[in-house]
Amino acid sequence: MLWVKAFHIVFVASWFAGLFYLPRIFVNLAMVPPESVAERERLLLMSRKLLRFMTLLMWPALALGLVLWLGYGIGGMPPTQWMLWKLLAVVLAVGYHYLCARHLRYLVSMVQRSAGAAVGSRGCFGGGQAVLTTLYAHDCQTPHHCLGPVMVVCAGHCVCQSLSL
């Protein structure tokens, strides 16, 4: 049982390290200058690889936790109040993991969409290279109805963009 506990702790700690680091990569992505396409691609690649690794760590952590609970009786059956709170924390962590994955898919799709939509037969709004940066309305000359994040495609052109998950 001690080996199961030890591996459970290692997998949970590693998974949580990724859960804390992935949003930092998102912040770095938001700070990338519009003309730095290579840096944006590198950060997207890093975040995709980290998410894949985090997912690989999450499943053994959950499985070993179930083995400890159902197999060894840690947490009681029926579950104690402590175990119910712990299960709630696990559900919240899995939900946060899902939200991070969903946000990463959104960021990747926005980069692909801006590159595909902005670069048409005439180029990027008539010329230039398509880029994507998430800013806020006060950072960009944009219509007043853009109160939240805006997408900057083709350096200098701002477009209202909702960041809904």
Mean pLDDT (the chain) is 78
Counting Cβ atoms within 10 Å, is residue 100 exposed (0-12), middle (13-18) or buried (19+)?
buried
pTM above 0.75, yes or no: no
Residues 104, 51: contact at Cβ < 8 Å?
Answer: yes
pLDDT digits (tens, 9 = 90+) for 118-162: 444 333 443 444 444 444 444 454 444 444 444 444 444 455 444
Q: Average pLDDT for residues 11-38, to the nearest whole number?
A: 92
In angstroms, how far is the first alpha carbon of the chain from the final one? 40
Q: Give residue 36's pLDDT.
A: 84
Task: Give CA–CA dist 16/31, Å, rounded.
Answer: 24
Buried b (16+ CB within 10 A) or exposed e, 104-138: beebeebbeebbeebbeeeebeeebebbbbbbebe
The single residue listed with the structure tokens 């853009």 is 146
Helix (H, G, I), strand (E, B), or coil: what is residue 150? Answer: strand
Q: Average pLDDT for residues 98-122, to the nearest whole number?
A: 74
